[in-house]
Structures are given as C-alpha cells and as structure tokens.
Structure 1
Amino acid sequence: MKLLIVSQYFWPENFRVNDLAREFSTRGHAVTVLTGLPNYPAGYFSPGYSLRGPYREQYEGVDVIRCPLIPRGSGSGLRLVLNYLSFAVAATVRALLACRKGYDVIFVYEPSPITVGLPAVALALVTRVPVMLWVLDLWPESVSATQAIRSSRLLRWIERMVRFIYRHCDRILVQSRAFFSHVEQQRVPSEKILYFPSWAEGLYETASGRSPVPESVHLPEGFRVMFAGNVGAAQDFDTILTAAERLQSRPDIHWIIVGDGRMLSWVQAEVERRRLRNTVHLLGRHPLETMPAFFAQADALLVTLRREPIFALTIPGKVQSYLASGRPIVAALDGEGARIIEEAGAGIVAPAEHPEALADAVVRLAETPNEARDLMGKRGAAYYATHFNRTVLFDQLERWMRELADRQGGTRSSPESELLLSSERGKLS
C-alpha cells in the first residue's frame, strides 16, 4: 500500500507515530509522513531546523514532508493556538500541492489537536482517498477540562469542527473503549468506530534487567518513584508534590521526574517553595532510547491525571510502556487507566487528585517485599502481552487499512465488509 500519515508531530519528536511509520515501512509499504517542523516540547525549533527547513527528509525508509508552522513557545495561550492553526493551514496547502500521488489510505494521528484532521479531510475531498483517524484525545472535552479554552461559544465552534472532521473520515479508531459513546454523540455511525489502543515500543519489553542510566545522571539511593513523560496541566503535579510533602518524614522515598513540558517551570518553583529538593528530583528530558534504562532503576513507576470526566475515559500512553517494562505501578487516576492497572494486578491505584491516598499508596508499595513488587511487575508485563501486543495491533491495523484501500476511487465498502468491521470493532482486548 501507499500510505500517507498526517501528524503534527514526528521524529525527532518522541511520539508513537514514529514507531508506526517505521513498522509499516519495514512491512514493505510506501510510507509518507506529512508533518510540521519539530518544536515539541521545547517550544522552539529542534537543532538543525528553522523556517528555512529542511522540508523534505528520509527517516528509516519513510519519506517525510514538513510544513512551516509557528513554534508552540511556552505551550499555552495564543501562541499554542497559532501553533495549531499554522500547521493546519500550512499542511492543507502542502497536502494539496505535494501529496496528490494516489495514496491508498490517509492515516491521521491525533493525540491533540483535532485540527490535524483538516489537511487530511481537504486532501480526501480532492483525491477520494479514504481517511482513517486515530483519536487519542477527545475534543472539545480535553481543552475544556484543562481550561485551555473557557469560552462556551468557542467550544461550540470546536465541536462543530470535530463533527465535520469525523463525518468526513471513513474509519475512526479510538484508544479507549470509553471513547465510543462520545464519538457516537458526534453523529458518527457505530460501525465506523473501531477500538485501537496504544502499544509500547519494543525497546520497553527488555527493561526488566538492571541497565545503567546515562553517565551524566545520578539517581538517589532509596525507594525510587519515577514519573516519565509530559509535565503538563493534565498530569496534576500539585497532587504529586503535595504527596511528596506528606512524606518528608521518609527521606528514603524519592520522587524522580524524567520529562519536560509546559508546567516544568512551575514544578521547579514549587519544589523550591515547598523545600522538596532532597526528595523530588527533576532530571529533564532524555531520549526515548534511554527510558528502559531509567525504568529498570525505578522501584515504582508513577502515573497521574487530574479528576475530570474526560480523563477518566482516557488510557494514558505511559500505562502501556509501564506495563511492558515489568515494573510495579503506583497511580493517582480514575476510570479506564485505573481499571487496567487494577485488572492487571500491576500495582496500587489511588483516586485522582487525592494526595493523601497517593502518599499512602507509595508507602504501602515501599513497605511491600521485593518479591511481591516483582510479581506485580511480572503480572503487568503478562497483561501487556495479552492486551496490547504490538505485533497483534499492527497486524489488525494493516488489515483495516487494506480493507479501506479496496475502496480507492470513491467506491463504497460492501455490506459484507461493513459487517466484518462492525464485528471487529470490539475484538481487540
């Protein structure tokens, strides 16, 4: 197949779409990625990139077409809006000029923003190529929950845009089963919606050994609770820091933050204000390839989300990575993410925005014998292998894409193929 992936984010930015593009190229498909100039999460262009380009690259057999955009800056306010809109406009123009090559399927990667779907829809209207949208973040619910947008009028406009994008997609993949009803509320027929969860890159599955972290990093001795990923508003760092405050009498418990994001400067200031420098350690962002080494040195891996209805529907992407790494998990979140960790028997879960319960969970885990903690990690890895196996997921996605490719030229799917997809919408566990 000739596959066009539309994603605002791509290598050297660390997103799972990189792994997806590599895998489908390895499987012999001709893969092109339409993306922006990399600027996440730092907020400025990555080294080697500027408004002068480069605008065409090769990445492990994948053809990369880049678009100019306004860097996201601090990741809030008007600058972020301009970042989203500039990519949507530039990518639409770029798609219509440079991507009319007779692709079989257009695949849209949507962790946020939903505006990434606009270039794909515009191209599909001209070329009649079927569109598959992978929804990892529900709009407008997510921007409302994080208070990124407070205007009810603007939220209604965004909802109309979401409905327009969904209506012009042939298949909508959702990362959580709890997303089904919300997508259906946007007037999407249920047979168009398919369950497709995230996976962990293969490198995490080898993290069970005691690999060394980068030489420049010093990890404190004691019980290490490690958070890895985006330091943002949704991750509720106030709960993490308040829990750390409650455990200041336990200097053996260390909170290690590996990552970057729009809330990092606030977290740094709060660590100083709350006098947590001895137990909260901010290690900054590190390459994806080093994460298994960090995870292997953690006694518990931490995942948190704010208490919002939309977040209760979401499975944080780091959950799959944590499970695959075979380390015990401590969590402060509700809903689907909590259900998976508890169902797997992979750790201890506290309610979202409950620092006292999170502190108690960490103490319980710290006082759990090593053998019992190791068993939690093993159960998590086994659960991952059963429910989120990378190869199984890619095989299924490839089958769905081939089915859509049969519709090339604008013909509709047969009733039999629609019935088959309807039966498969909930097959993945």
Structure 2
Amino acid sequence: MHILLLTDNFMPEVNAPASRSFEHCREWAKSGHQVTVITGVPNFPRGEVFPGYRNHLWQTEIIDGIRVIRVWTFICANQGFLFRTLDFFSFMITAFLASFFVRKIHVVVGTSPQFFTVCAAWMVSALRRVPFVFELRDLWPHSIQVVGAMKNKFVLRALSRVELFLYHRAALIVAVTHSFKRILTARGVDPAKIAVVTNGVDLHRFEPAQKDPQFEARLGLATCFVAGYIGTHGRAHGLDTVLDAARLLQKRGENDVRILMLGDGEEKAALQRRAQAEGLHNILFLDTVPKDQVSRYWSLLDCSLIHLRRDPLFRSVIPSKLFEAMATGIPVVLGVEGEAADIVTRYKVGVTVPPEAPQILTDAILRLRDDPAWRMTMAENGAGAARRFSRPVLALSMLQAMEGIVQNDCLSETEMN
C-alpha cells in the first residue's frame, strides 16, 4: 500500500504534530508499506529555515525509509493570524500541486490541527480517486475562536461549514481523543467511520534517566526542586498561570524551587518580558532543542507542568507531553480538565489542578517537593502506564484502519467493473 501524508510539520521539527507524523510514518514504512510525505521546509516555530534546508519549490530526502517531499511555503513565525493563514494556505496550494508527481497512491492522509492541509488532502483524493483520511488533532476552527485568534463570525461560520464538509467526505476520521469522537457524532458525523488513535510516546527515545550533575549545575539547577514546562508557549496554554505560581513561590520564600520553561511560541516573548518586569528569578527560559536532546531536559525535572486555558473545548484534548512525562517517570501537575485528567487519575501518575488556578498549582508543586516517596510511586506508575501508549502500537492501529478502507475501496471498484 502506498500512503501519501500531507502535513505542515515534520521531522526535524519537534512539535507534537511533527513527532506524531514522523513516528507513525516510520512504523508504516517498517511494516513494508511505501510512505510519501509532502511537507514544507522545517521552520517551526520561529519561522526560520533550519540549517541545511532552503525554501525551494521542490526538494526531496529519505528519512528512515520515508520519502519526504518538501515544497515552498510562505514562511512566518508562529504568531499573527493573517501571516499564519497565508502560510497554511500557501502549503495547501503547493502540496496539492506536488501530489501530481507522486505515482500510484492508495490512500491520502491529511493531518490537522488547521485544516487547509486537510482541504488539500481531500482535493488530492477526489482527483486521484483514492480514499481520504482526516487525522483530527484539533477541533479547528473552534480552537482559534477560543484563543481569540479569530473573531469574525461570518468567517468562522464559513470555516465551520468547510469543517463539516471535510468530515462527511472523509472515508476515515482518525481522532486523537474519545471526546472528539463524541463531539463529531453529536454533530451528525457517522461514528462508524471514526477511529480513535490517541497520542502516544516513543519509548525508545523517552525513558527514565538519572539527572546529569554537570548539566544540572551548568543550568543553575543543582540542589533545586525543578518543575518544568516543555512545549509550545502559545495562547491556548495559559502560561501566565505558571508565572503567577512562580511569583507566589518567590513571595513565600521557597527559594529551592525553580521553574524551567523549554520551548518557543507566540507568547514566549511576552512571558519573558513579564518575568523580567516582575523580577521573577526562579524561572529559567530555554529555547527549543533538537528532538534527540529533549529527553535530556526531561531528566532534569522533578515534576512536569501541563496546562491549558480554562475552556470547555480543552476538556476534549490530551496534551502529547503527558505521555512523554509518563514515559520518563516524571510526576505530572496537570492543569487540564476532562479526558487528560482522567488518564492522570486512572493511572495515578500525578496531581490534577483546575486550570488558571495559580494558588492551587503552587500548593501542588510544594506537596510534590515535600513528599519524595509519593513522587517515586507516581514515577513508577507513569513508566508502567506509558507502555499502553507506545507509538508503534498506536501507529499499527491507525494502519489497520487505513488498510480496511483501502480494501473496501478496492472491493467497490471490483464490483463496479
């Protein structure tokens, strides 16, 4: 089977969509399938082309048995709705055109969170007469409305109609949470064509590790209890709450607690300015690091902070960093309600707190600091539970669902002939 995947982000980018797409494609290729990916040049999140790449009309490479076609896009930093939309729209056009040069495909997959990419996948499927798979990683455009990136009701209604059109045209929808499936079913989408394949973790890359004393000392974290946020610093994440907690910790004189914030995003500069203005000396901001270095930073943490803004929409999501924390044996302080909180509670891998509640977040961090035995139990629970969310297992589940629709498509063609 020849699988064509369209995705905005891909290896060597390190955000959640890039990691999921790469790790799934790698497993599909290992299973003997031909896999082609159409994507842009790596530039997320700063809008700066990675070393060794250029924003050309067409370039190809092979990564772990995957043929990767990189096309030109309008590149900008991960901020500003207009420029980001131009980026997404340009990829829709160039990815669609590039698909003409990919031969004999059996299924085309378009992955969100934004769905201009999925629009391109549907157009390819319609033209090539192959099944179209919608990988649903975010309920867009609702999510951009929640974070205030778009307020024009006319445009939002138009985007919502396109969204429903794509759901109904898809032969298969792969949702990353059970909540997404319930929401789509309530909106009239056939539940029989919705498969749930959650986010997961590469257990070979993320595993429990001892702290590196020299690395720890170089970052000024020796003898400190380190609570860390690793991931995108975006509007949806509500990271002002983490700074509020840092301020409370500093005010209380809890001088042995440090907050490490690793990553980039449209809110990072504002967060840094605020920390400097308020004299928050207990926060360390670090830039995104290459994928093969991320686990080294996880090992510095005594607990992981995972947070989203308070909104009903976010009750339906499961941040992918939750699984990375579990795999590395790092107890979680989770400021997310709904399905993610159910996982933390069910497997006893951390503490749940209400979103946007800095006082409760602060208390949770201190409780974990003061109870090493409790942290150890959570760490062991997390490492054990992470095996349920192993990326190869999840990739195989999605592959089986795609094989099913391809077989059905072949049977339909045979019957018509």
TM-score scaled by length of structure 2: 0.93
Task: Choose from 325, 329, 342 the match for 1:322.
Answer: 325
Mapping of 1:44-59 within 5 angstroms?
A: 44-52=48-56, 55-59=59-63
Whether 2:252 is the aligned partner of 1:259: answer: no
Hey, what's the Cα distance between the residues in 2 that align with 1:85 and 1:114? 10
Q: Tell me, what secondary structure is at the counterpart of 1:239? A: helix
Mapping of 1:365-384 within 5 angstroms?
A: 365-368=368-371, 370-384=372-386
Whether 2:96 is the aligned partner of 1:92: answer: yes
8 Å CA contact 1:163–1:187 kept in 2: the answer is: no
The answer for the alignment partner of 1:162 in structure 2 is 163
Whether 2:398 is the aligned partner of 1:397: answer: yes
Deviation at 1:191?
Answer: 0.5
Whether 2:285 is the aligned partner of 1:282: answer: yes
8 Å CA contact 2:42–2:49 kept in 1: the answer is: yes
Query: Residues 130 and 318 from structure 1, CA distance in 2 versus in 1: closer, same or farther, beyond 3 angstroms?
Result: same
8 Å CA contact 1:134–1:172 kept in 2: the answer is: yes
Deviation at 1:49?
Answer: 2.8
8 Å CA contact 1:33–1:62 kept in 2: the answer is: yes
Deviation at 1:219?
Answer: 4.1
Gap runs ≥5 in structure 1: 415-429
Query: Which amino acid is the alignment partner of residue 113 of structure 1?
Result: Q
The answer for the alignment partner of 2:363 in structure 1 is 360
Deviation at 1:196?
Answer: 0.7
Hey, what's the Cα distance between the residues in 2 that align with 1:139 and 1:98? 29
Hey, what's the Cα distance between the residues in 1 that align with 2:105 and 2:214? 42
Whether 2:317 is the aligned partner of 1:350: answer: no
Query: Residues 151 and 217 from structure 1, CA distance in 2 versus in 1: closer, same or farther, beyond 3 angstroms?
Result: farther
The answer for the alignment partner of 1:231 in structure 2 is 233
Gap runs ≥5 in structure 2: none
The answer for the alignment partner of 1:296 in structure 2 is 299
Q: Deviations over 1:66-113 (max 9, x none)?
A: 221111325222111111111112212222x212x2212222222x21
The answer for the alignment partner of 2:11 in structure 1 is 11
Q: Deviations over 1:222-253 (max 9, x none)?
A: 10001111111111111000011011010111
The answer for the alignment partner of 1:340 in structure 2 is 343
Task: Choose from 98, 108, 132 the match for 2:110.
Answer: 108
The answer for the alignment partner of 1:422 in structure 2 is none
Query: Residues 215 and 362 from structure 1, CA distance in 2 versus in 1: closer, same or farther, beyond 3 angstroms?
Result: closer
Query: Which amino acid is the alignment partner of residue 273 of structure 1?
Result: A
Query: Which amino acid is the alignment partner of residue 320 of structure 1?
Result: F
8 Å CA contact 2:24–2:391 kept in 1: the answer is: no
Query: Residues 409 and 260 from structure 1, CA distance in 2 versus in 1: closer, same or farther, beyond 3 angstroms?
Result: same
Q: Tell me, what secondary structure is at the counterpart of 2:123? A: helix
The answer for the alignment partner of 2:148 in structure 1 is 147
Hey, what's the Cα distance between the residues in 2 that align with 1:179 and 1:244? 33
8 Å CA contact 2:260–2:285 kept in 1: the answer is: yes
Identical positions, percent: 27
**Aligned Cα RMSD in Å?**
2.0
Q: Deviations over 1:17-54 (max 9, x none)?
A: 11112221122211100111222111122223333355
Between the two proteins, the alignment pairs up a number of residues equal to: 408
Query: Residues 73 and 393 from structure 1, CA distance in 2 versus in 1: closer, same or farther, beyond 3 angstroms?
Result: closer
Mapping of 1:124-273 within 5 angstroms?
A: 124-211=125-212, 218-221=219-222, 222-248=224-250, 249-273=253-277
TM-score scaled by length of structure 1: 0.90
Query: Residues 74 and 170 from structure 1, CA distance in 2 versus in 1: closer, same or farther, beyond 3 angstroms?
Result: closer
Hey, what's the Cα distance between the residues in 2 that align with 1:286 and 1:372? 30
Deviation at 1:395?
Answer: 2.5
Deviation at 1:134?
Answer: 1.5
Query: Which amino acid is the alignment partner of residue 22 of structure 1?
Result: R
